[in-house]
Structure 1
Amino acid sequence: MNVEQAVRDSAVRRIAYSILAGAVRGRRERGGDWGEAVLAEFAETTGDAEAVRWAAGGLRTVWRERRARRRELPRIVRIRRRAVLVVLIGLLAGLVVNRFVLTVGRVWSGSMETSYLIGDRYVVDLAAFRLTGVHRGDVVEFTMPGTDRLVIKRVIGLPGDTVECRDGRVRLNGAPLDEAYLSPDPDLSHTADCAATTVPPHRLYLLGDHRIVSEDSRTYGPVDEHALRGRILLRF
């Protein structure tokens, strides 16, 4: 029975043979001696289950054969290959982390002074905050409504909270809000009056710490939670 006849029997056998052939030969016309021997005997298998078992055993054989060939390489070549592999894995891990877990941002405006100064860099949590949620006092990065600009502001009101600015201070649910993070300089921390707003579901009331210059929820209203990119963990 030739190989063409053997792999014609079923889709399972064809897939098993294709996987084994790819492992043995890759892009070459011929693989190693052990792998080619296993591949040549594939036609002797009968039934789907035996074909799958033979392919699995063949993959282990190919792995052992390649490992044996690597051991025959000069030590310096093996060290270089491992070093390249470590660098590639590190780069890939870094890209994944930067894209989906943590990244670095930069402050481009003075709306969060003195907590965050122009030019400061900060680390953004891109993932964990989606599981834990955000809390009052957290600083978040988000896309400013009506623009494509990423900015940072502080969470003041959560869904269901009523936020009002009166007598230079923020009132949360009717009580003055203790904001120890604000600058003692009234030129930075004085909050202009704003109408009482009850935060709708899935939205957040956000303010900058430099209340005189900050453009925030007093201007564009509560921000959709989906506009958040991440929560700031630290600055440096």
Structure 2
Amino acid sequence: MNNQLAKEIKEYAISIIAALFIALLFHNYVFARATVEGPSMQPTLHNKDILFLEKISTETSNVKRGQIVVFDSKNENGDYYIKRVIGVAGDIVEIKNGHVYLNGNMLNENYLSANNITEPLSTQSRYTVPSGYVFVLGDNRTNSIDSRILGPINLKDLKGHAVIRVFPFDSIEMF
């Protein structure tokens, strides 16, 4: 009987360790949870919204314009920022007359609030996105630390892109 009990304990232990290992791999390379902090993505996202991020596309550098991404800000506090990808490698992003132009064409940014104006936050108003980088902006352009200040964001610093908002429950949305 003791051998049978030891065998069952060993089988349970192996199953638990395997499950933990799979969960860890899943969390590190497939999906992660993120909580929005601050108003920089309003009206799309609000403070305390809870999102799930897909990580495979950012791990493989398959990032597309319009995706909402989370990245390491590299600041002294170790903050992670959430912003929208405006330009990818080779794109020319220009900010003029309160609007964003991508490769010479004014972007139709229907996700912005009606009174939102985009201004350059430095002397630079035209950016060419280098290979291996993306250009990101917050949807609340008057209250966002984004590529206008930080410059292009290295693809290696991306932690995932938002696929669904799960909280608040009355605002569940796929992205």
TM-score, length-scaled by structure 1: 0.60
Q: In structure 2, how many angstroms separate the alpha carbons of the residues matched to 1:87 and 1:128?
A: 29
* Selected match of 2:38 from 109, 121, 140: 109
Contact 1:158 1:204 in 2 (8 A): yes
Equivalences, count: 161
Render the CA deviation track for 1:32-65: whole Å, top value 9, x for unaligned.
xxxxxxxxxxxxxxxxxxxxxxxxxxxxxxxxxx
Cross-structure match for 2:87: 157
Q: In structure 1, how many angstroms separate the alpha carbons of the residues matched to 2:110 and 2:131?
A: 27
Q: In structure 2, how many angstroms separate the alpha carbons of the residues matched to 1:114 and 1:183?
A: 6
Cross-structure match for 2:118: 191
Render the CA deviation track for 1:106-135: whole Å, top value 9, x for unaligned.
111110111111001111122233336111
Higher strand residue share: 2
Cross-structure match for 2:139: 209
Amino-acid identity (%): 30
Cross-structure match for 1:29: none
Contact 1:111 1:211 in 2 (8 A): yes
Q: In structure 2, how many angstroms separate the alpha carbons of the residues matched to 1:179 and 1:150?
A: 24
| Post-superposition offset of 1:89 | 4.0
Q: CA RMSD in A?
A: 2.5
Q: In structure 2, how many angstroms separate the alpha carbons of the residues matched to 1:85 and 1:169?
A: 57
Q: In structure 2, how many angstroms separate the alpha carbons of the residues matched to 1:175 and 1:145?
A: 31
Render the CA deviation track for 1:81-101: whole Å, top value 9, x for unaligned.
877765554333222211222
| One-letter amino acid of the counterpart of residue 43, structure 2 | T
Greater C-alpha Rg: 1
Cross-structure match for 1:133: 62
Gaps of 5+ in 2: 167-175
Q: In structure 1, how many angstroms separate the alpha carbons of the residues matched to 2:57 and 2:94?
A: 30
Contact 2:61 2:155 in 1 (8 A): no
Q: Does 1:98 align with 2:27?
A: yes
| One-letter amino acid of the counterpart of residue 195, structure 1 | S
Cross-structure match for 2:172: none
Q: Does 1:120 align with 2:49?
A: yes
* Selected match of 1:178 from 100, 108, 111: 108
> Would the alpha carbon gap of residues 112 and 159 (structure 1) be closer, same or farther in structure 2, given more than 3 Å must change?
same
Higher helix residue share: 1
Contact 1:145 1:220 in 2 (8 A): no
> Would the alpha carbon gap of residues 154 and 95 (structure 1) be closer, same or farther in structure 2, given more than 3 Å must change?
same
> Would the alpha carbon gap of residues 145 and 87 (structure 1) be closer, same or farther in structure 2, given more than 3 Å must change?
closer
| Post-superposition offset of 1:143 | 0.8
TM-score, length-scaled by structure 2: 0.79
Gaps of 5+ in 1: 1-68
| One-letter amino acid of the counterpart of residue 150, structure 2 | Y
